């Protein structure tokens, strides 16, 4: 059974701070890792993908992957109130395959 685990939160950070979101996965053959942002009542929006160990930066977002520890994280720098949403971690083990989602972490950025 493939599992993706996230702390449900809420994670509350002040505006301008760094938000750190974490995710662990159980399937060692997982190859692709994704972070989606989901606003209440809306669909998941892809914000980051990562395939190799290490860091990947895109604007204010940095994804970190450690396959040995089966751990993925997302850092959001200079957090803004508009970043307040649920962040979903998703993994798959091959292109074309299903995504397995975590339950999401609710982030609240306070002005």
What is the distance between the terminal CA atoms of the chain, rounded to a whole angstrom?
Answer: 40
Closer residue to another protein (CB): 17 or 56: 56
Q: How far is the CB of 10 from another protein (least distance, A)?
A: 14
Q: How far is the CB of 103 from another protein (least distance, A)?
A: 5
Between the CA of residue 80 and those of 6, 45, 47, 62, 90, what are the distances in Å?
Answer: 21, 17, 15, 15, 23
Closer residue to another protein (CB): 22 or 32: 32
The answer to whether 47 and 61 are in contact (CB under 8 A) is: yes
Q: How far is the CB of 53 from another protein (least distance, A)?
A: 17
Residue 53, classified by CB atoms within 10 Å of its CB into exposed (0-12), middle (13-18) or buried (19+), is exposed
Residues that bind another protein (CB under 8 A): 32, 34, 36, 42-46, 49, 88, 90, 92, 94-104
Closer residue to another protein (CB): 64 or 100: 100
Q: How far is the CB of 96 from another protein (least distance, A)?
A: 5
């Amino acid at each position: 059974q493939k599992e993706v685990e996230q702390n449900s939160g809420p994670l509350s950070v002040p505006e301008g701070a760094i938000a750190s979101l974490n995710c662990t996965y159980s399937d060692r053959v997982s190859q692709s890792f994704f972070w989606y942002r989901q606003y209440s009542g809306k669909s998941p929006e892809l914000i980051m993908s990562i395939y190799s160990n290490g860091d990947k930066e895109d604007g204010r977002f940095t994804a970190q992957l450690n396959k040995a520890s089966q751990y993925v994280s997302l850092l959001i720098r200079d957090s803004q109130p508009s970043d307040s949403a649920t962040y979903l971690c998703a993994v798959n083990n091959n292109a074309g395959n299903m995504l397995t989602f975590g339950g999401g972490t609710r982030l609240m950025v306070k002005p």
